Amino acid sequence: AQSVTQPDIHITVSEGASLELRCNYSYGATPYLFWYVQSPGQGLQLLLKYFSGDTLVQGIKGFEAEFKRSQSSFNLRKPSVHWSDAAEYFCAVDLSGNTGKLIFGQGTTLQVKP
Amino acid sequence: GAVVSQHPSWVICKSGTSVKIECRSLDFQATTMFWYRQFPKQSLMLMATSNEGSKATYEQGVEKDKFLINHASLTLSTLTVTSAHPEDSSFYICSAGGGSYEQYFGPGTRLTVT
């Protein structure tokens, strides 16, 4: 079955440290890939997206993600985490192209230690 | 960026009553909107696709008679939870497409059924 997996439910990093959040998808073709961040009281905000082309994509707030077809992965990275990055992060895929129907991973809660 | 609003942001109702949740695209038109449900500490699950001027399309396992969706205009979709029960308590989130393969999410509505 088509699915999105975020293996890490909860991650804690120190402020200033680097971050990598993992995302794997199960699908025959290359789906449209997204990373969203959810903060309490706010709607999901798009960090970045990948459809085709350069496999390393840059997003907002200093985030980047790399698509690796061979590993069916789309991991999110940030070189230096800020305390304000503490939030819930979701990887999502649109399996049918630009339908807008998204399948979300389980989410990863990021905690930032001072 | 485009803005999607939801009203109310939270609602408490008694078991057996119905509750209507509104989703509005404030600065763009959306022929299609999506409704998601999110349980505490869990991911978003797509419930249905709201189509302007036609019937909604429900995902497998979602009761269409319980979750009534009406997409009356290009900027408004409503979700009515009929005869609500405590198990319907959840966080309901809508999204709308603003172009560029991006979905914009509302801030969500917290429903508590007592």
3-state secondary structure chain A: CCEEECCCCEEEEECCCCEEECCEEECCCCCEEEEEEECCCCCCEEEEEECCCCCEEECHHHCEEEEEHHHCEEEEEECCCCHHHCEEEEEEEECCCCCCCCEECCCEEEEEEC
Between CA B39 and CA B43, with CA B42 as vertex, the angle to 5 degrees is: 100
What's the average model confidence in pLDDT over A40-54? 88
Taking only the tens place, the pLDDT of each residue in A58-69 is 999 999 999 999
Q: Distance between CA B6 and CA B9 in Å, rounded?
A: 6
Dihedral over Cα of A101, A109, A23, A79: its sign = positive
Q: In what order do the strands lie in the sheet with B76-81?
A: B4-7, B19-25, B76-81, B67-73
Q: Distance between CA A4 and CA A105 in Å, rounded?
A: 5
- Of the listed ranges A36-40, A98-102, B49-53, the one predicted with least confidence: A98-102
Residue numbers of A between 28 and 57 with CB closer than 8 Å to B: 32, 36, 41-46, 49, 51
pLDDT of residue B81: 98
- Of the listed ranges A39-48, A60-69, A101-110, B60-69, the one predicted with least confidence: A39-48
The pair of structure tokens assigned to A101 is: 């129907």
- A34, pLDDT greater than 90: yes
Query: Across chain B, what does the average pLDDT equal?
Result: 92
- A37, pLDDT greater than 80: yes
Count CB neighbours of A114 within 10 A: 6
pLDDT > 90: percent of chain A: 76
Nearest CB to A43 within list B42, B49, B105: B105
- B8, pLDDT greater than 90: yes
Taking only the tens place, the pLDDT of each residue in B72-100 is 899 999 999 999 999 999 999 999 986 65
Mark yes or no for CB contact A100/B34 under 8 Å: yes
What's the average model confidence in pLDDT over B50-70? 93
